Structure 1
């Protein structure tokens, strides 16, 4: 297949709608009065109820019937064609729609008895660079669909993807409850969607060379382009920062969970609950059982660096019996605590079993490696053992027993074998015995 054939598949000029028809479609979607206004109000109420009861399906239904995207496409289209009277009309109608939506949603959230902020509300309060990407690509899909005779179901899909209604309703919730972080966070997400849907429309219209509908001079064109660039940059910069913060939180959560899964087992204690605070960089481990020693706390603190948690505080809440701390936990937390305990014991038992299996194979591995270097060695055995001394203390050594029919010729040979084993075992705690007996 030739390159020209591939490029032809991406060509949409043959499917393009008549320019006059496109203009009429865009202009008809700008005005909010009569039917459009009532549909907007109904969509706002449906979305508010969906956010209030945390129903994703209801929110999607509201986005499908929302006419809010019309004036946004109109603003991008009018700037691209330098149709400033249409831009003014689209902007005024968009502001009217936003105010109407805010008041409607605020009125609902003011009177509803359910005031708790669920996950669907919280998801619209911290926009990131990923929301910019969604709005930009959604806007491209929207204007391409309007420009085509084969519109299909793209417009409803764009309405769902770019999610204009939920942030507007979330801002209404923030207004009704005087929760200003919610209010401004949701308005920022709405601004992101508005700016980048409009920018995508502007870019596509100019790329497809729509006819200019207003004879603007160069000064007006340059002024319009500068304002668009300024607004796009002003909208993008905070989202990049919030995107960075989101990535840091996700990395913290993943590393912390890996740390807890692999390192939180303490003999005689049960991990009842964990609390992760990405903002403060804290991991709180709540144990039931015996008092945890300072050595164990130090071990946990030292091991955290392996998991990329340098600078993170490990807080151990200790010394509670299971019955005492269960009084402070909900039923779901108790079940989770029991699951954590069983997982920790299982992980610890698996590690012990792996250690035993490795210890059993250690002698064979050493023999395969040492035989080519020291041909006189006929067999090798190795195991970790504890030696008890007079004071009652214990010392742990790895004991290596080597056997050969031939005696080790010189002290130098013995030193070479000993040095090799220390390097191979990465330890100085070795006891090496060489027998003159063959198996």
Structure 2
């Protein structure tokens, strides 16, 4: 057992404590070259977020010197060097202010202000960000205290991701979105705090000497403060992680509802919007040519319970004349380049897919109940009542050489109507 413990002994390969502290202190200050490097890294990260390039963002994180004052604060807490703590805090404040200013100016001047996925990913922190910051910080400080620094340092710079949240906060200020700014600053604060805490723990574990004597009352006060800060950071993060999980479940359940109740029946969906964070959850839908009666909508509302969507309101928008703007707005969220031509193409694709009968279970049941019916074809057909009025009908055609009584055909037609929950079903013999 003792031999196994020795494998995890952090004192093996440890550098001299004085050299480590000297190295940490030298990386705290933001003067001259360090400040220029930081400003350039912020511009590079902002460009990467602006064009949605992960590679460019990673490059910016690799050259960023932001870790210095955060690690310095952790060492200061671990060694009770309050002068070092003040210096670290002051330089971190300077670095943060400069980073926000540079990113704010970049996004203010940039002609491209769409919120890309890389930007949006930094606006909603959760418990996983806490874990990444904490364990990334552990790796970083362990590497700093080694004689051979090795490869972990660049990896820690990427994993802890201090630059992107700051740039996102600057973006939020530039476009006047305080929600983006608040979420990004909170993520940045989480990263800074837990890197600092992990550094503090390793410094205590490696038994770095105290700079000066501190009475036990003051030491207890510091411990209580750190514990309180951890709780303050963890509780909102757990709540955010839980909320994110619930939202993902809601989206999955909505997708299952739409797939089973509409897509599998050949209805062409042209508009979909969900409201999860409202007091009453809502699903808004609109279809290309299907019109639902009040009884059908009530039936669909009742079926939401079977998809664990109790308390969700279903809204089917049937006046498509006012949907054009909403459709454009929804598509703009997912695409940089959107036009009416793109919408027309997508609608045509959806319409063509509507003529394909996708319910394989129903086809298997037809084959089992009516083995003599094969070969047969089944699909959707548009029936025009007037040039401006139409509806979809499921049509099953069986081979012209087969002879089935009217009773058998009626029975199959009735069964399909019940199975597909549709009154528009036609079973007939093919002409050839």
TM-score range, shorter chain: 0.7 to 0.9
Q: Does residue 1:211 correspond to 2:191, yes or no?
A: no
Residues 100 and 167 in structure 2, CA contact (< 8 A), matched pair in contact too: yes
Q: 1:225 matched to which residue of 2?
A: 223
Distance 1:325 1:288, change over 3 A: farther
Alignment counterpart, residue 353 of structure 1, candidates 360, 363, 377: 363
Q: 1:18 matched to which residue of 2?
A: 16
Distance 1:266 1:70, change over 3 A: closer
Q: Does residue 1:103 correspond to 2:101, yes or no?
A: yes
Q: 1:129 matched to which residue of 2?
A: 127
CA positional deviation for 1:265: 4.0
Q: Gaps (5+ residues) in structure 2?
A: 329-339, 372-406, 416-432
Count how many residue pairs are aligned between Structure 1 and Structure 2: 366
Q: Does residue 1:79 correspond to 2:74, yes or no?
A: no
**Structure of higher CA gyration radius:** 1
Which moves more between the two structures, 304-313 or 340-349? 340-349
Q: 1:119 matched to which residue of 2?
A: 117
Mapped to 2, the partners of 1:48 and 1:395 lie a distance apart of: 62
Q: 1:188 matched to which residue of 2?
A: 186
Q: 1:286 matched to which residue of 2?
A: 286
Mapped to 2, the partners of 1:292 and 1:69 lie a distance apart of: 59
Mapped to 1, the partners of 2:118 and 2:414 lie a distance apart of: 58
Q: 2:298 matched to which residue of 1?
A: 298
Mapped to 1, the partners of 2:291 and 2:6 lie a distance apart of: 73
CA positional deviation for 1:236: 2.1
Q: TM-score, normalised by structure 2?
A: 0.77
Q: Gaps (5+ residues) in structure 1?
A: 362-383, 389-393, 397-439
Alignment counterpart, residue 45 of structure 2, candidates 43, 47, 54: 47
Mapped to 1, the partners of 2:3 and 2:285 lie a distance apart of: 62
CA positional deviation for 1:167: 1.1
CA positional deviation for 1:86: 0.8
Q: 1:139 matched to which residue of 2?
A: 137
Structural mapping, 1:52-71, within 5 Å: 52-71=50-69
Q: 1:168 matched to which residue of 2?
A: 166
Q: 1:309 matched to which residue of 2?
A: 309
Mapped to 2, the partners of 1:44 and 1:326 lie a distance apart of: 36
Mapped to 2, the partners of 1:328 and 1:226 lie a distance apart of: 53
Q: Secondary structure at the match of 1:224?
A: helix
Mapped to 2, the partners of 1:249 and 1:63 lie a distance apart of: 30
Mapped to 2, the partners of 1:113 and 1:290 lie a distance apart of: 41
Q: TM-score, normalised by structure 1?
A: 0.76
Mapped to 2, the partners of 1:113 and 1:265 lie a distance apart of: 39
Distance 1:105 1:231, change over 3 A: same
Q: 1:437 matched to which residue of 2?
A: none
Please give the root-mean-square deviation of Cα atoms over the aligned residues, in Å. Answer: 2.9
Q: 2:200 matched to which residue of 1?
A: 202
Mapped to 1, the partners of 2:140 and 2:310 lie a distance apart of: 46
Mapped to 1, the partners of 2:72 and 2:2 lie a distance apart of: 34
Mapped to 1, the partners of 2:172 and 2:319 lie a distance apart of: 42
Mapped to 2, the partners of 1:271 and 1:255 lie a distance apart of: 17
Residues 73 and 201 in structure 1, CA contact (< 8 A), matched pair in contact too: yes
Residues 289 and 319 in structure 1, CA contact (< 8 A), matched pair in contact too: no
Structural mapping, 1:320-331, within 5 Å: 330-331=340-341
Q: 1:246 matched to which residue of 2?
A: 244
